Amino acid sequence: MNLFAACSPGLELTLEAEVKALGFKGRAVTGGVVCEGPPDAYEIANLWLRCATRVWVRVYEVGRPDELSKVSLGAYKAKAIPVALDCPPRWQSMAERTWGKSSSHGLEVMLREDERERCEISVDSSGQLLHMRGYRQETGKAPLRETLAAGVLRLGGYDGTSPLWDVMCGSGTLLIEAAWIAMGIAPGGQRHFAFESWPSHDAKRWEARPRVKAPAGPVPLLRGTDLNSGQLGVARRNAKRALAFEALTLERMDATKLAKADGPPGLVVANLPYGIRVGEKSELQVLYTAVGASLKQAAPGWKFAFLLQEGEEALGLTLDAVHEVNNGGIRCRVVTGTL
């Protein structure tokens, strides 16, 4: 089974590590990871990949448009289901003649030419983008996609065995992703996928597939603090729907006036304000300076991973790495280091 797992720009190497951890062969390319796995690889990938946005199954390769007439999509498309084509103009006419007129909905079929002008045909196995985990019914002012949240955690080295503290937890996205990692919960376990409607889908095999893996050990302290009590309420309700509430500790606290952390060091995370959707850029430098000073006093020795757009120097922290990422079309960075 050959797959292409797409991801947000900047997370390709992180996703490659995830793919290999599932036991697949994987190679990072621009926009995602080319994968090779067993016949049910698309089920495993959709269920367990935390950073992927979509999983495409690569089904055929042809050299000329007229060869499309011999390509059957019967294993993936019932006769009454239309196709939603994404293909180069010179392939469009023959593709529609073979599989039906392109629609705005239906089985998503992607055709891509390589440098040899051969065309690779892929079908979407995911349906809704994979950041739609199935639990989040409420968001904050600047919602963070779950797939990027998982990327921030992995770039920070989080594996679910150490404490984690989100000092601006908002609606709880980073916290819930961390809880699912620590608890061994599959990110796709509470939703449906496009492949469930394929004629070739083995429903009994899919229903029997485990959605939880045994965690590496006891769930560590997962702490979320925020100045906005309303956002903490959203985080609580999201966590309950995600079956992660019991693993979290939530409390109201100003990120510029943090109380000292107890226990062993872990990872501090935050989706810091950008000055685009929340606040003003002119205020960010003052805020970042105050947050950085507060963190150094409250959590010395802790690792950190912060998502921001720019201005990381105002934090006053020593950075080990800066990772360029994309957050909803906004070019951002994940900065990591030790307090």
Q: The domain that contains 220 carries what CATH number?
A: 3.40.50.150
For position 112, which CATH number holds? Answer: 3.30.2130.30
Question: Would residue 277 count as lying in a domain?
Answer: yes
Residues with pLDDT less than 50, the chain: none
Give 274-315 pLDDT, tens digit per residue: 875 555 667 899 999 999 999 999 999 999 999 999 999 999
| Predicted pLDDT at 166 | 98
Question: Would residue 118 count as lying in a domain?
Answer: yes
Domain count of the chain? 2
**Could you give phi then psi for residue 133, rounded to 5 degrees?**
-75, -25
C-alpha span between 86 and 70 (Å, rounded): 19
Total Cβ atoms within 10 A of residue 116? 7
Range of the domain at 304: 146-187+214-338
32 closest CA partner among 47, 50, 53: 53
Question: Would residue 133 count as lying in a domain?
Answer: no
| Predicted pLDDT at 56 | 98
297 and 168 in one domain?
yes
11 and 110 in one domain?
yes
Sheet strand arrangement including 25-29: 25-29, 32-36, 2-7, 52-62, 119-124, 107-113, 83-86
Helix (H) / strand (E) element for 46: namely helix 41-48
- Mean pLDDT for all residues in the chain: 94
| Predicted pLDDT at 120 | 96
Question: Would residue 131 count as lying in a domain?
Answer: no
* Token pair 């000092």 in the structure block, residue: 167
Q: Distances from the Cα of 322 to the Cαs of 101, 335, 338, in angstroms?
A: 46, 5, 13
| Predicted pLDDT at 115 | 84
| Predicted pLDDT at 314 | 95
C-alpha span between 118 and 123 (Å, rounded): 17
Question: Would residue 138 count as lying in a domain?
Answer: no
